[in-house]
Amino acid sequence: MKHGYIKAAALSPKVKVADAKYNTQLIIQQAQEAAGQGAKILVFPELCITGYSCGDLFLQELLLQEAKNGLFEIAEKTARLDAIIFVGLPLAYMGKLYNVAAALHRGAVLGIIPKVYLPNYAEFYEARHFSRGMRKAVPVALREDAIVPMGTDQMFVCTSMPKLRIAAEICEDVWAPNPPSTRHALAGADLIVNLSASDEAAGKSQYRRDLIAGQSARLLCGYIYANASDGESTQDVVYAGQSMVAENGVILKEAPRFGNGAVYTELDMEKLDAERRRMSTFELDGAADYTAVPFSLDISETKLTRFIDPAPFVPGRKADRERRCEEILSIQAMGLKKRLEHTGCQYAVVGISGGLDSTLALLVTARAFDLAGLSRSQILAVTMPGFGTTDRTYDNAVSLIASLGAQFREISIRGAVTTHFSDIGHDPSKHDITYENSQARERTQILMDLANQVNGLVVGTGDMSELALGWATYNGDHMSMYGVNASVPKTLVRHLVRYFADSCGDEKLAGVLSDVLDTPVSPELLPPQEGLISQKTEDIVGPYELHDFFLYYVLRFGYVPEKIYRLAEAAFAEDYDKQTVLKWMKTFYKRFFSQQFKRSCLPDGPKVGTVAVSPRGDLRMPSDAQARIWLDEVERMQGVSG
């Protein structure tokens, strides 16, 4: 359970209807197998000890007795397992019958949770047999040596992992307008288990999937849903075992329908805790009304089997990626369109280098002008060759501008910068930071003055990854009048340009964009070597795919370096060795903290995702914050790894 990970299992045994003895043995067997796989939280379906589809057999005393006997046998036979187990059964209490979930741990029944909402419509007739469960827990004597709390408002609190607080609901409860899980979450539960027996109908599986994902998102919680499978009676309906595990709106694992088995994955309880901390509208309420039931689990490290996406800003599926790209381009373009309308500017000025960022900025500007009903000829696209400009990037810049129908302008900065070197007494053969930044600031001055000439607006080109690392010249490419790429990470810039190339319907433009995509990322501020780019950004500051990965987990969830390293190690196992990851992680933290002063005075720009660095929005960070404790942890890991 290191770093907040805990392995869970949703199990769907092929029960035999009304055969409590058989089902008991099957549940024991599957629980042992699941614990052997490292699962610590095991959830079985609704009424699994008897089967859900017993009908009027639930009124038979013998079946109820065998169900209770089965419960204690399961508890006894799983006593040595390091897990908390939830099973379903019918339970008689005070002359009424309840559909309940029982929580088992180390041979004991910890608590009984009754179902609240009893469906009595269409194919369901639960009110014929069961009574609505009580909220406040009351002591129930299951037998002389087992008096346990029974009620919906119970919280199973893991003393060895305080961020794990479990509550339960049963099937229909989550389909109701006011699910018990909502109350549970507001009382502090960060993991909901649902023991279910939801039958199949055309279209129902997707609705069920959306329901569970949506509830986990709304409650910022983990959600384990164990559904009954094809062992149930098919007299009138069919059960398909669609079990799943969700985490804050994402289905981590889902069982194929029309089968029997188990789904395993790890839940990240630290992530959920971090989400609730940052969400000011998630207000705890009612915890004092709950019965807290403590239990403990072994805190050994959980082996990760869940997929760790090496590109968290980029959707993996092509259809999702294309939809995301279209959405982001629209957000960027609409932001610029509004700014043009508000300022009354009829012109936009964009510096075009032939690189990815300026290419994206020009594509967005063209779309914004189309939306505003303005001619693209009023986009002043300026290429400003300097000491490091190569023929490849220059040609791509010229072709791009022509393909988009923007107004082309070429202004060389060599003469002006050479004069500037003379003015400040700088030796032009000394290729230091002054040599580089003088060029960047000269370009920005040209763009700003051209904007004044045409009553236009300078569109910024720098992206979020560069801003996170401070890879921008202060008051150079760092500055603009509206930064359309300000919240777009470098890894996503590439996909946005690729999407535009694939969907533009212009073969010539697509060809230019493809070559831009194949060009190494570079500021081109140092002279070329044999006509080729000599200054490659990723050789200097590190791979952007690593930095974007670090940035996502630092800002989105506030993870400690050790946890981010663990995730990066899994995500990039085939690409980078441990020391390489740690080397660039150290660079990231150093630059991220030391360069906040550049982010503190950023121009306006549209937020497009859940992570952004605007000082007016997502990142209120002091410019003189110290990185010491983060760097100390990275250095410690470097020492251990070395």
Tokens 């029960």 belong to 15
From residue 554, give the alpha-carbon distance in Å to each of 305, 551, 558, 563, 630. 22, 5, 5, 10, 11
- 391-404 helix and 507-518 helix, angle to the nearest 10 degrees: 150
171 is catalytic: yes
Distance of alpha carbon 607 from alpha carbon 548, whole angstroms? 16
Per annotation, catalytic residue among 7, 40, 115, 607: 115
> 165 by DSSP, 3-state: which?
strand
Per annotation, catalytic residue among 158, 171, 221, 345: 171
Distance of alpha carbon 97 from alpha carbon 383, whole angstroms? 79
40 is catalytic: no
- 544-557 helix and 490-503 helix, angle to the nearest 10 degrees: 110
Per annotation, catalytic residue among 7, 40, 46, 172: 46
Distance of alpha carbon 254 from alpha carbon 225, whole angstroms? 9
Distance of alpha carbon 374 from alpha carbon 365, whole angstroms? 11
Cβ contacts of 214 within 8 Å, gap of 6 or more: 249
DSSP string, 215-240: HHHHHTSEEEEEE--TTS--SS--B-
Distance of alpha carbon 235 from alpha carbon 233, whole angstroms? 6
- Quick one: which of 552, 554, 556, 519 has its CA closest to 537? 519
- 490-503 helix and 356-372 helix, angle to the nearest 10 degrees: 60
115 is catalytic: yes
Residue at 14: amino acid letter: K
Distance of alpha carbon 3 from alpha carbon 270, whole angstroms? 7
Residue at 601: amino acid letter: C
Catalytic residues: 46, 115, 171
